Chains A and B, each alone.
Chain A
């Protein structure tokens, strides 16, 4: 773990990714202390100061009801990261278990599981999420549910492909001849060989989940006001472009920094972990 991070810092792009992700995490975790106006994460109204350009008091300006945009971005990162982590923490194990069993056991287990995965994969992901959010109430929990539903099949397919090829390796035959059971072979022998790819994909996906979640709230189907969310902030400000540019540019940049950071870090991890493996 520590060694992996040290290796990462040798590549300038991975280092940049590490720094950006670090900044985003610090911003989210310490939002209540870092935000100049910590109360502005809720339904606060200050019409005397609404729609102000960036200044010494409000580094990124204020929104249409006078809330500090910088403060709201810090809180929005909390929401985005929570959503990303929850989605991946649920989707990854589901996809991994299904992919492992399908890939190792084969036969009808493989046929049934992978057809279910195919059905999910055949629906355009954003459409599935939009449809689910249209039926469900637009709350943070439901947004997580919708994104998770579209996310796990990708892990199933990734792990399935690796397990299929690992199944042919001699160490699997050796474990079978010794008499080890299917759970041992799937989870203790094959799974460790899938982990580098899973960890890499999770890192890359943090960025994508943030984009998808922002897209949902941009369309009004995600987290609802007054909870700060990067996607809905961009959506609110879009009508006032180009005059009140700070309403969209800063939340947009915030999305960019997070996604760019996770992508760089993910690419760096892929190189480090796959050379090791």
Chain B
């Protein structure tokens, strides 16, 4: 059974300029343990879809189900806990007036995870799991670097032991070296904990490194869905080809593949 099933989901926003169809009739099954990348340009509906999965937005049509049970906009506590988020901007994702530890502990308190007396221990363990020192729990987020903050965000999401994590461009605000370390951390955590990722990004170089499958979005529609290798080597649609063509060239083999694709287009 798929972990998350998105069935015929549409989202229409009513604006003064008429209805805007942000997501149109999307159908995706997310398998347990996989990393599904959602790619597409800005405004292609990636984040709207993620917000519906997270229960921040309600779908106009269609249903989203988790482990076979439909997810209404008013989530049950356990469902809310099972789907967590890591945001793009690590600067705003942590409250500047609250300590790193308080941010991670919030989920533990909300769901009553562990005995009250053990919770700081769990917070420290969560920090260590993302490669940060346990003492960091007393620090203010403003004293941390972008990469450290993003690790704290990951620790916060994982502290409530979710099954599915929505990663909304988790590395695009980080510099390249930090990006690579955070990606490796995310990969390790997924393997060790059997997590499922929905990885939203427009960075296809990242997609190649982390994703098992790729869903390509264009103006609210799912235009292509397939295994990462297949999308990168034999994209079926012109849009997917153009997206892949926009990846900065990394090495000669890549360039050769690119030229080959361009000729085929």
Verify B111–A173 contact, CB threshold 8 A. Answer: no
Verify B93–A174 contact, CB threshold 8 A. Answer: yes
Chain B min CB distance to A175 (Å):
6
Chain A residues whose C-beta falls within 8 Å of the C-beta of B85 in the assembled complex: 173-174, 177
Chain B residues whose C-beta falls within 8 Å of the C-beta of A170 in the assembled complex: 87, 89, 91-94
Partner of A175, one of B83, B106, B153: B106
From A175, which residue of chain B is reached at the shortest CB distance?
A: B106
Docked pose: A277 CA to B142 CA in angstroms: 9
Q: Does A180 contact B (CB under 8 A)?
A: yes
Query: In terms of DSSP, what is the predominant structure of the interface of chain A?
Result: helix
Told that A170-B87, A171-B95 touch, could you supply 15 new A-B pairs with CB distance under 8 A? A169-B95, A173-B87, A174-B94, A174-B156, A175-B106, A177-B54, A177-B55, A177-B56, A177-B84, A178-B107, A178-B156, A179-B77, A180-B110, A189-B95, A193-B96
From A192, which residue of chain B is reached at the shortest CB distance?
A: B97
Q: Which of B47-92 contact A (CB under 8 A)?
A: 54-56, 75, 77, 80-81, 83-85, 87, 89, 91-92
Give chain A's interface residues, CB within 8 Å of chain B: 169-171, 173-180, 184, 188-189, 192-193, 195, 277
Give chain B's interface residues, CB within 8 Å of chain A: 54-56, 75, 77, 80-81, 83-85, 87, 89, 91-98, 103, 106-107, 110-111, 153, 156, 160
Verify A179–B87 contact, CB threshold 8 A. Answer: no
- Whether A193 touches B95, Cβ cut-off 8 Å, given contacts A170-B89, A179-B80, A179-B111, is yes
Docked pose: A180 CA to B98 CA in angstroms: 15
Chain B residues whose C-beta falls within 8 Å of the C-beta of A180 in the assembled complex: 106, 110
Chain A residues whose C-beta falls within 8 Å of the C-beta of B83 in the assembled complex: 177
Cβ-Cβ contact count across A and B, 8 Å cutoff? 64
Partner of A173, one of B56, B75, B77: B56
Partner of A277, one of B54, B77, B97: B97
20 A–B contacts from the bound complex (CB under 8 Å): A169-B95, A170-B91, A171-B94, A173-B93, A174-B94, A174-B103, A175-B106, A177-B55, A177-B83, A177-B84, A178-B106, A178-B156, A179-B75, A179-B81, A179-B107, A179-B110, A184-B106, A188-B98, A193-B95, A193-B97
Chain B residues whose C-beta falls within 8 Å of the C-beta of A176 in the assembled complex: 56
Chain A residues whose C-beta falls within 8 Å of the C-beta of B97 in the assembled complex: 192-193, 195, 277
Docked pose: A174 CA to B87 CA in angstroms: 8
Docked pose: A264 CA to B87 CA in angstroms: 41
From A174, which residue of chain B is reached at the shortest CB distance?
A: B93
Verify B84–A178 contact, CB threshold 8 A. Answer: yes
Chain B min CB distance to A56 (Å):
54
Docked pose: A277 CA to B85 CA in angstroms: 26
Verify A189–B98 contact, CB threshold 8 A. Answer: yes
Chain A min CB distance to B141 (Å):
9
From B141, which residue of chain A is reached at the shortest CB distance?
A: A171
Verify B95–A192 contact, CB threshold 8 A. Answer: yes
Chain B residues whose C-beta falls within 8 Å of the C-beta of A189 in the assembled complex: 95, 98
Docked pose: A234 CA to B91 CA in angstroms: 54
From B92, which residue of chain A is reached at the shortest CB distance?
A: A170
Chain A residues whose C-beta falls within 8 Å of the C-beta of B111 in the assembled complex: 179
Chain A min CB distance to B255 (Å):
37
Chain B residues whose C-beta falls within 8 Å of the C-beta of A184 in the assembled complex: 106, 110
From A277, which residue of chain B is reached at the shortest CB distance?
A: B96
Chain B min CB distance to A187 (Å):
12
From A193, which residue of chain B is reached at the shortest CB distance?
A: B97
Chain A min CB distance to B56 (Å):
7
Docked pose: A176 CA to B83 CA in angstroms: 12
From A179, which residue of chain B is reached at the shortest CB distance?
A: B80
Q: Which of B75, B84, B95: most chain A CB closer than 10 A?
A: B95
Chain B residues whose C-beta falls within 8 Å of the C-beta of A175 in the assembled complex: 106
Docked pose: A179 CA to B82 CA in angstroms: 11
Q: Which of A169, A177, A188, A192: most chain B CB closer than 10 A?
A: A177
From B85, which residue of chain A is reached at the shortest CB distance?
A: A177
Instruction: Give the 3 A-B residue pairs with the shortest CB-CB distance, closest first.
Output: A192-B97, A170-B93, A170-B92
Docked pose: A193 CA to B142 CA in angstroms: 13
Partner of B110, one of A178, A192, A195, A277: A178
Chain A min CB distance to B195 (Å):
16
Verify B92–A169 contact, CB threshold 8 A. Answer: yes
Chain A min CB distance to B80 (Å):
4
Docked pose: A178 CA to B80 CA in angstroms: 7
Chain A min CB distance to B252 (Å):
40
Chain A residues whose C-beta falls within 8 Å of the C-beta of B95 in the assembled complex: 169, 171, 189, 192-193
